[in-house]
Structure 1
Amino acid sequence: MGLLNKLSAFRIVWRFAKARKSGLLTWKAKSELVSQYMERMVTPFFDSVFLVSPRIIEMRVEDVHQLAKIPSLPANMKLEQFDELLAFPNNLSFLPLSNIPRNVTKLSALEMLDATRIPKHLITYVGPTITVEIKPKQGFYQNHLSMDFPYCNNCILQLEKCGSDHYEEMYDFCPLDLYSGNFSKMKSSLEALMKVPHRNLRIFVDGNLVHSDESPLDATLLTPTLFPSGQGNADDLMTAVDVNNATLSWQFCGSNQLHVQLCLVLAGCSDVRDFSLRDHSVLGQILSAQRIDSVGIVRAHQIFQSLPAAAQVCRCGVVRYFEVTKLLQYLVQKQLLDKNRLPVRGLEVLERTDDRSLLERYLLAASMKDCSVCTLRIVLYRGQYKT
């Protein structure tokens, strides 16, 4: 849920905890725990330029109940005042008050900068802010003991989902191409996501979602939607300028395409003629963090089954491999992220090789395999710019 902070002119986002099965907001928020986990376990893997640090806020339950109506409203609907939410039926809320214990009066949330829109100080020259959000997924092929899979983990998952009618069609996106360091493969993987986003790509214009799996935009409408004044075309989405190897990109945009491919920003390069996936790039750092998982889903499943708690859950039937991560997190998370242990825990788990530590590393790497990368572009029109 996002809103504009009138004091700073920055848009902010509030992230509330959700129940895993129902998708409804839950009063059992662990904002402090999540924040500590991110700071201690995830942040050390990345340069600060790639991270947005959240802060913890609290709200009255009644206010969150009203805010939780927003997901039920038409996409991109603008609300100027909080009181406008009061006019909508309470049954639209993703936080039913009947689910809240009487002694719970406030809920916590994580507040972060909205990565889909930033202030425009040169209004005369500034065009739309275009944000491409990508879930790059697992970027390396993982060998599984005693099992020979000819596909990467993401492609296997897509085959499974299509076979179970979760998706109507496969897409041509393969994370191994995105992380390959080969310019042509990387560009083709991004084009495949543009064509069929599934849940791994979303495009925003000035904070409004315009292209996603839930609401895909016809290919013929991409250019007029992204560049309504004709100052660019959809191919320009594949282009940007590398600024300090970060994901914020600026460039003059006229009838010509921008100079360097979006691939260069993600790969940390400045020239197609010397293209490779740089270790210091955002994808390079994500890949390095993912590789702390040395066991993979099959071995993790075996370790999981060896745990007493796992045996109790598995009595009711066979657990599918693609459900393992959720079950692992459900059973082990409380011990891994115990609030009293977390402040004294750290990445020492990377130095251990016992089964418990291997499982912890698998779960930590799972966060890196499902993270999102946002690249922003502010289109600047040709003209004279005063300092």
Structure 2
Amino acid sequence: MSLDISPENCSYRGEGNVGLVISLKKEEKVLKLIKQENGSVVVNHEESFFKELENQVKIVENVMKPLLGNAFVNTPVIVHLQKDEIKMINGMVDKFRPGSRQHKSVKEEDCHVFMLPDYCSLPPHMKMFPSFGPVISIEIKPKQGFVLSDNDSSLSPNSYSTCRFCLMQGYKMRRGVISSRSAYCPTDLFSGCSLRMLHALKMLLKSPQNNFRMFKDQKLVYSEEKKEDLNKLLSDFFDSEKKSSYSDMLCNLVIKALLEPFEEGSYKFLVHLLNKISQRCANSNPCEENEFCHKLPRGCVLERILNVQSLDTMELTKLYPLYRKIIVNSEQSSDYVGCISRYSIPSHVGENLKQSNESDYHFASRKVWEFLVALTMKDCSIMLAFKKVLNCGLKLRNQNVISDDYGNSYLMSIAIADLDIKHISKVEKLYKERPFLLESCA
């Protein structure tokens, strides 16, 4: 596949702890390049690295798509980049990278990388419809959207009702990672209550941290590091007589998109697990109505993410002995979690108790596998893109278009990104972090 890897066509899109993301303007694609610690002496053998990328493709196809549905998940394509192209990319992005990320970089050598659609653009099939104005795209990292409803009584008195995100805010404050706490609470966003969801989005706008970014025609215009006047930024997007603040109009549009039920593509629905969780956190926004009167529509993107997050319904203190059983009694392989393949959904997935035809070792492997998959969904990104539709009487499928409270219609696309399944060592890391995390709410 021939790609235009040039300074004119490439731009820095962002990065996480593992990957650096570059957008290709002409192709409307993004490349995800893997970073390493600067000065690392670890040698990545191209053959084994290529196999790991192929394995990740298998995980998306055989695990993520069945659990989330085809409507929101795209399978990455593996492409090859030459050393000179990597060198050009590194030189081009260097001035845009935050200082906190520069301890890692992409090694300047021939390598394979992932290519995915640019979720800051509308998909090709939507471009046939008449539209105007800029494309506004939103990236939200929603985080864990629930609190267990049957928490371990051995935890601190307040921890049972405090979600992980809010605990982490206190933890980061104590460590000096952040200067102020965010009032965003994921349980509000996942509540299905429009008032609580509106509050959640407003708090993300107030304190985006690493959880909210907005793009305009593929260019970053709003984030933790770059805050501008939203009413000015959105004036040509809404292009209508101002009946309320444009930021409020954007929040309400995002809420409608997040609650839009998608029927396309079947997915595994874990209703018995969803019954064990609560959308109430000590820091969540109060709602005057009964908390049980709201629920996420079946098939919407939030419900599907929460559905997979809910695979983690076992307290870490109970999961850790199962993890130790795996570590002690098996040879570690990147292809397996205990005796369960990383590349397929195990039998009895989502069952809390050991089944009659499961050995103790299989049960331990399954619960750790479920934990790692759920952990991936707690760190995923929701990507939304909108563009205003010309009012010309065309009838579009509901999945392609939504309307605001003033009768204006917008093309809409939604995708779930950042679907790399976490390494098994994450269990150990989170277990050791747990006491310090609980101190933050003491």
Whether these two folds match at TM > 0.5 is yes
Does residue 394 of structure 2 align to residue 373 of structure 1? no
Distance 1:62 1:229, change over 3 A: closer
Shift of residue 53, structure 1, vs aligned partner: 2.2
Distance 1:23 1:14, change over 3 A: farther
Determine the C-alpha separation between the residues in 1 that align with 2:39 and 2:162: 31
- In the other structure, the counterpart of 2:258 is 266
- 8 Å Cα contact 2:261-2:301 kept in structure 1: no
Determine the C-alpha separation between the residues in 2 that align with 1:36 and 1:74: 33
What are the equivalent positions in structure 2 for 1:198-217 lying under 5 Å apart? 198-213=209-224, 215-217=225-227
Aligned residue for 1:379, secondary structure, equals strand
Shift of residue 11, structure 1, vs aligned partner: 0.3
What are the equivalent positions in structure 2 for 1:169-318 lying under 5 Å apart? 169-213=180-224, 215-218=225-228, 221-228=229-236, 231=239, 233-240=246-253, 262-268=254-260, 276-304=295-323
- 8 Å Cα contact 1:135-1:201 kept in structure 2: yes
Does residue 119 of structure 2 align to residue 115 of structure 1? yes
- In the other structure, the counterpart of 1:49 is 71
Distance 1:195 1:332, change over 3 A: farther
Root-mean-square deviation (Å): 3.7
**What fraction of aligned residue pairs are identical, expressed as a percent?**
21
Determine the C-alpha separation between the residues in 2 that align with 1:37 and 1:122: 33
Aligned residue for 2:34, secondary structure, equals coil
Determine the C-alpha separation between the residues in 1 that align with 2:66 and 2:136: 29
Determine the C-alpha separation between the residues in 2 that align with 1:304 and 1:347: 17
User: Aligned pair count?
Assistant: 311
Determine the C-alpha separation between the residues in 2 that align with 1:380 and 1:124: 6
- 8 Å Cα contact 1:65-1:94 kept in structure 2: no
Determine the C-alpha separation between the residues in 1 that align with 2:303 and 2:104: 40
Determine the C-alpha separation between the residues in 1 that align with 2:96 and 2:371: 38
- In the other structure, the counterpart of 1:66 is 88
Aligned residue for 1:373, secondary structure, equals strand
- In the other structure, the counterpart of 1:159 is 170
Query: Structure 2 regions of 5+ residues with no counterpart?
Result: 1-21, 241-245, 263-292, 355-362, 397-442
Query: Structure 1 regions of 5+ residues with no counterpart?
Result: 76-90, 101-105, 241-261, 311-330
- In the other structure, the counterpart of 1:248 is none
What are the equivalent positions in structure 2 for 1:132-143 lying under 5 Å apart? 132-142=138-148, 143=150
What are the equivalent positions in structure 2 for 1:340-379 lying under 5 Å apart? 345-348=344-347, 350=349, 353=354, 354-379=363-388
Give deviations 1:88-113, integer Å, cap 9, x for gaps.
Answer: xxx9993344xx5xxxxx31111111
- In the other structure, the counterpart of 1:147 is 155
Distance 1:136 1:230, change over 3 A: closer
Shift of residue 59, structure 1, vs aligned partner: 1.8
**Greater strand share, 1 or 2?**
2
* Aligned residue type for 1:356: S
Determine the C-alpha separation between the residues in 2 that align with 1:131 and 1:374: 7
| TM-score normalised by length of structure 2 | 0.61
Shift of residue 122, structure 1, vs aligned partner: 7.8
- 8 Å Cα contact 2:35-2:107 kept in structure 1: no
Aligned residue for 2:71, secondary structure, equals helix
- 8 Å Cα contact 1:210-1:217 kept in structure 2: yes
Determine the C-alpha separation between the residues in 2 that align with 1:115 and 1:23: 33
- 8 Å Cα contact 1:2-1:114 kept in structure 2: yes
Aligned residue for 2:204, secondary structure, equals helix
Determine the C-alpha separation between the residues in 2 that align with 1:94 and 1:178: 34
* Aligned residue type for 1:127: G
- 8 Å Cα contact 1:59-1:107 kept in structure 2: yes
Aligned residue for 2:162, secondary structure, equals coil
Determine the C-alpha separation between the residues in 1 that align with 2:58 and 2:181: 37
| TM-score normalised by length of structure 1 | 0.69
* Aligned residue type for 1:170: R
